[in-house]
């Protein structure tokens, strides 16, 4: 009997990129013994997206289930995906709507599942730059993929390239935390919780997806905000885990002060780096400040809302 893999996609106002992702899934090698279904949760509730999904299913022959989620926010969307996946699902995967999968993505996941003992398998996300992306953005490594030894254990995962046992949802009573509905970070908490409950996450080096990097992401403002958001979110989660104890607050203060001091020590070099054409280094100096501010704002209970 074939095992069912359900690929879940959360989407919002990215119909063209979503179509590219679907085409890549249609071109993907499906290992013997598996069958595939796609679940798409649309948080825009767009007829255009619904029709595009219907047309793709008709022309490709793939099973595509489209659902509109009216409650706004990433946690609502991902939880809807968990609910809408067929009960026959053996493995459930998440990829993002601004990505395309490598033709061998699923086959590499299958090899890892066969080779390693694990409950969750995750792999690298490589950048796919827009033609208009400036060279300094590419040189800066701001979107560089993570690199690990194949089969390495991980403490958590994101939902941009992951597959896990569907049975974990019921076994561990898993759902995405609504507290992170507008801030993001819900995926990190989800998979970290699986590890805490005894699950194992493995790295799959050759299970590759490619993320479309739009031109707006290659701006100083976006790169600064990204580091602020990541720092703010991670420190908020750290403080929550430690019930905002005096020790945890002190730790965040030290780390945030350290990043701010690094910025102050290097900020005088920013104009020279800019003039010398090393804009990527100047931006990295600014990102020290972003990380410091993100931590300090977490202490003040401020949460940056990425998905508002």
Q: What is the pLDDT of residues 114-157, one digit of tens each?
A: 999 999 999 999 999 998 999 999 999 999 999 999 999 999 99
β-sheet bridge partners, residue 42: 11, 68
Q: Quick check: 22 pLDDT over 90? A: yes
Is the pLDDT at 220 greater than 90? The verdict is yes
Where are any strands of DSSP class E within 97-243?
99-101, 120-122, 125-129, 153-154, 161-165, 201-203, 209-213
CA distances from 2 to 73, 93, 187, 197, 292 (A): 34, 16, 28, 28, 50
Q: How many whole angstroms separate alpha carbon 80 and alpha carbon 235?
A: 27
- Would the pLDDT of 253 be above 90? yes
Per-residue pLDDT tens digits for 168-198: 999 999 999 999 999 999 999 999 999 999 9
Q: Which of 79, 83, 49, 82 is nearest to 66 (CA)?
A: 49
pLDDT at 308: 78
DSSP helix/strand/coil, 65: strand
Can you tell me the mean pLDDT for 236-261? 97
Which residues face 68 on adjacent strands?
42
Q: Please state, in angstroms and rounded to a whole number, the distance separating the CA atoms of residues 30 and 25.
A: 9
Band the pLDDT of 18: cuts 50, 70, 90.
Answer: very high
Secondary element (H or E) of residue 10: strand 3-11
Backbone angles phi, psi at 272, to 5 degrees: -70, -40
Per-residue model confidence (pLDDT) at position 212: 97
pLDDT tens, residue by residue, 272-304: 999 999 999 999 999 999 999 999 999 999 999
On average, the pLDDT of the chain sits at 97
Beta strands in 97-169 (DSSP E): 99-101, 120-122, 125-129, 153-154, 161-165
DSSP letter assigned to residue 301: T
Residues 6+ apart with CB under 8 A from 73: 43, 178, 181, 182, 307
Cα–Cα distance, 101 to 161 (Å, whole number): 9
pLDDT at 1 over 90: no
**Helix H or strand E encompassing 239:** helix 220-241
Q: What percent of the chain has pLDDT over 70?
A: 100
- pLDDT, tens digit, for every residue of 63-95? 999 999 999 999 999 999 999 999 999 999 999
Q: Give the mean model confidence (pLDDT) for residues 193-220.
A: 97
């Amino acid at each position: 009997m074939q095992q069912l893999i359900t690929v879940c996609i959360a989407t919002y106002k990215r119909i063209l990129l979503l179509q590219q992702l679907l085409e890549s899934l249609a071109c993907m090698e499906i290992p013997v013994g598996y069958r595939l279904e796609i679940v798409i949760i649309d948080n825009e509730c767009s007829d255009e997206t619904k029709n595009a999904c219907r047309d793709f299913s008709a022309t490709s022959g793939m099973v595509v289930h489209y659902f509109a989620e009216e409650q706004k926010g990433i946690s609502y969307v991902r939880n809807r995906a968990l609910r809408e996946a067929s009960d026959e699902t053996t493995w459930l995967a998440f990829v993002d709507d601004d990505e395309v999968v490598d033709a061998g993505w699923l086959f590499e996941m299958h090899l890892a599942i066969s080779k390693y003992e694990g409950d969750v398998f995750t792999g690298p996300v490589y950048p796919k730059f827009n033609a208009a992306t400036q060279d300094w953005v590419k040189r800066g490594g701001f979107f560089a993929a993570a690199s690990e030894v194949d089969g390495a254990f991980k403490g958590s995962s994101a939902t941009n390239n992951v597959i896990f046992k569907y049975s974990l949802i019921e076994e561990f009573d898993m759902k995405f935390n609504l507290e992170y509905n507008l801030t993001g970070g819900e995926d990190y908490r989800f998979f970290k919780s699986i590890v805490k409950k005894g699950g194992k996450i493995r790295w799959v080096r050759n299970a590759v997806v490619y993320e479309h990097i739009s031109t707006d992401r290659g701006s100083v403002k976006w790169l600064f905000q990204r580091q602020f958001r990541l720092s703010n979110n991670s420190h908020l989660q750290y403080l929550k885990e430690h019930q905002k104890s005096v020790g945890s607050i002190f730790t965040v203060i030290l780390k945030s002060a350290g990043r701010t001091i690094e910025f102050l020590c290097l900020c005088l070099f920013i104009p020279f780096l800019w003039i010398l054409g090393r804009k990527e280094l100047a931006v990295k100096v600014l990102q020290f400040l972003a990380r410091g501010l993100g931590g300090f704002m977490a202490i003040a209970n401020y949460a940056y809302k990425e998905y508002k």
